[in-house]
Amino acid sequence: MPKASQAEVNNFKDKLPILLPPEKTEEAKETRRKLFSGWDPNGNRKLSLAEVDLGLRQMQLHKVFRKPVIIRAFNAAKGVSKTKGSSDDYIDRNEFRLLCSYLLRYFELYNMFDEIDESDDDRINYEEFEGALGLLKQWGMDIKNPRKVFDEIDANGGGFILFDEFSDWALKKKLSMEK
């Protein structure tokens, strides 16, 4: 599936916290309750990765939530609850607020990653990384030794930074486009 255009991403950026509210307000809880029920077609009170993906498609969010975002958010939220009957393979109602929060955070991280990835090959080479030092500084990371930092982020030593490597690093460094 083709990536969303920057205009499509910008169109949804402000709407996402309303569509997938992570807050603990009564209004947000009610929105999440309705979403969860709509995404749980068999009524087993658990969501699989496929059901989350389908739910986002039904909301017409599949273009802005790329597979890596959905997978990372799902994996971060599943099994956190540890309540009776919860599973490490599914999202239960107690974890759904976290899923919404993680979807929003990984959405931001993917957009950062995508902005650096000028070749659109879903990986960042050293030249792209070095060329993005100004952006990284705007997002909260002033890098003095780009080669050293690049090599630290490239956890598998493949010579490229992949989204999972970038997002792990960016989360630890608390990078944000809002800075």
pLDDT higher at 13 or 167: 167
Confidence of residue 84 (pLDDT cuts 50, 70, 90): low
Four-residue CA torsion sign, 171, 175, 178, 179 = positive
Domain stops at, among 88, 107, 126: 107
For residues 80 and 82, give the distance between their C-alpha atoms in angstroms, rounded to a whole number: 6
Q: Write down which residue in 81, 107, 133 finishes a domain.
A: 107
Same domain, 101 and 34: yes
Model confidence at 85: pLDDT above 60 = no
Q: pLDDT for 159-176, tens place per residue? A: 999 999 999 999 999 999
Average pLDDT value for residue range 84-97:
81
What's the whole-number mean pLDDT along residues 104-123?
A: 96
Query: What is the overall mean pLDDT for the chain?
Result: 92
Which residues are within 8 A (CB) of 142 and not within 5 positions of it... i.e. 6 or more apart? 136
> Could you tell me what percent of the chain has a pLDDT over 90?
80
What's the gap between Cα 173 and its chain centre?
16
Same domain, 12 and 91: yes
- Asked whether residue 17 falls in the same domain as residue 103, the answer is yes
Residue 70 placed within a domain: yes
Same domain, 19 and 93: yes
Q: Are residues 128 and 83 in the same domain?
A: no
Residues across the chain: 179
Question: How many Å apart are CA 66 and CA 73, to the nearest integer?
Answer: 11
How many Cα atoms occupy the beta-carbon half-sphere of 159 within 13 Å?
A: 0
Q: Indicate if 49 and 85 belong to the same structural domain.
A: yes
Residue 95 has pLDDT above 70, yes or no: yes
Q: What pLDDT is recorded for position 163?
A: 97
Is the model's pTM score more than 0.85? yes
Domain count along the chain: 2
pLDDT reading at 39 higher than 90: yes
Task: Determine, yes or no, domain membership for 40.
Answer: yes
Residue spans of beta strands (DSSP E) within the chain: 46-47, 91-92
- Answer whether residue 178 is part of any domain: no
- Residue span of the structural domain in which 125 resides: 117-173
Is the pLDDT confidence value at 179 over 80? no
pLDDT of residue 13: 81
63 within some domain: yes
Q: C-alpha 19: how far from its chain's center?
A: 15
- At residue 43, φ and ψ (nearest 5 deg) are 70, 25
Range from 22-26, 76-80, 147-151 carrying the lowest mean pLDDT: 76-80
CATH assignment of the domain containing 160: 1.10.238.10
Residues 12 and 89 in one domain: yes
Helix (H, G, I), strand (E, B) or coil at 42: coil
